[in-house]
């Protein structure tokens, strides 16, 4: 029997994840069954279960992909050592791509809700967002090193506050359609006293 290429395996895996995203957006995370995912993927039961043993494994894979991309973006922004508000702007540009046109933020919002009910999903969300916060911590530490924040700043305290600006913006945009990024950043600048 011929061996299946790595490209084929990756393509099948992505086919399943794409089907899952479609189902989660149409029916909701909670209401989507494995049978729904299998049907949407157009694969056999065995083919889907070869890659993922449960819906939670699929959720974990989606979270890993989305949060991994945003984490990498935050790491790249941190390395640029921009002023903090400019760094936030660069991060929010990436967040906006997840809000519009089939982005993954609507699925993330469902995951956050399920995390309060399902301990397994709760662990997935906790792990991913802890990773994001660690990337933001690097950005804050650079702001202290570069003198934008005073020496002796509690980096962890500032990280938690700064990090909350990211999902805060995302939730407002997703749930209400406003504010636009420029308005949000103007508000952040006013709060921290920077023109």
The domain that contains 26 carries what CATH number? 1.10.10.60
The count of structural domains within the chain is 2
Q: Which two tokens stand for residue 17?
A: 């994840």
Final residue belonging to a domain, choices 27, 53, 79: 53
Q: Is residue 3's pLDDT more than 80?
A: no
pLDDT band at 193; cut points 50, 70, 90: confident
Q: Are residues 93 and 12 in the same domain?
A: no
Q: Are residues 35 and 80 in the same domain?
A: no
pLDDT band at 195; cut points 50, 70, 90: low
* Higher-scoring residue by pLDDT: 68, 170: 170
**How many Cβ atoms from other residues are within 10 Å of residue 183's Cβ?**
10
Per residue, the 3-state secondary structure of 61-73, as one string, reads HHHHHHHHHHHHH
Alpha carbon distance 172, 55 (integer Å): 28
Final residue belonging to a domain, choices 9, 36, 53: 53
Domain around 64: 56-192
Q: Is residue 2's pLDDT more than 60?
A: no
Q: Are residues 96 and 184 in the same domain?
A: yes
Q: Are residues 109 and 21 in the same domain?
A: no
pLDDT at position 57 is 95
Helices marked H in the chain — which ranges?
A: 6-27, 34-41, 45-51, 55-80, 84-99, 105-115, 119-145, 155-176, 181-192
């Amino acid at each position: 029997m011929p061996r299946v290429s790595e490209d084929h395996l990756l393509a099948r895996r992505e086919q399943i994840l794409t089907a899952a995203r479609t189902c989660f957006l149409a029916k909701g995370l909670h209401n989507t069954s494995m049978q729904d995912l299998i049907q949407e993927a157009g694969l056999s039961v065995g083919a889907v279960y070869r890659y993922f043993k449960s819906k939670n494994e699929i959720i974990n894979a989606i979270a890993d992909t989305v949060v991994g991309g945003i984490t990498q973006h935050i790491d790249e922004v941190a390395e640029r050592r921009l002023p903090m508000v400019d760094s936030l702007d660069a991060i929010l540009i990436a967040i906006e791509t997840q809000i519009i046109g089939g982005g993954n933020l609507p699925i993330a919002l469902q995951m956050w809700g399920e995390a309060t009910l399902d301990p397994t999903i709760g662990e997935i969300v906790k792990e991913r967002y802890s990773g994001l916060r660690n990337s933001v911590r690097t950005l804050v530490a650079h702001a202290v090193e570069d003198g934008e924040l005073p020496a002796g700043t509690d980096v962890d305290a500032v990280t938690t506050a700064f990090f909350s600006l990211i999902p805060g913006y995302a939730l407002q945009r997703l749930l209400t359609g406003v504010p636009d990024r420029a308005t949000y950043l103007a508000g952040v600048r006013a709060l921290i006293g920077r023109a």
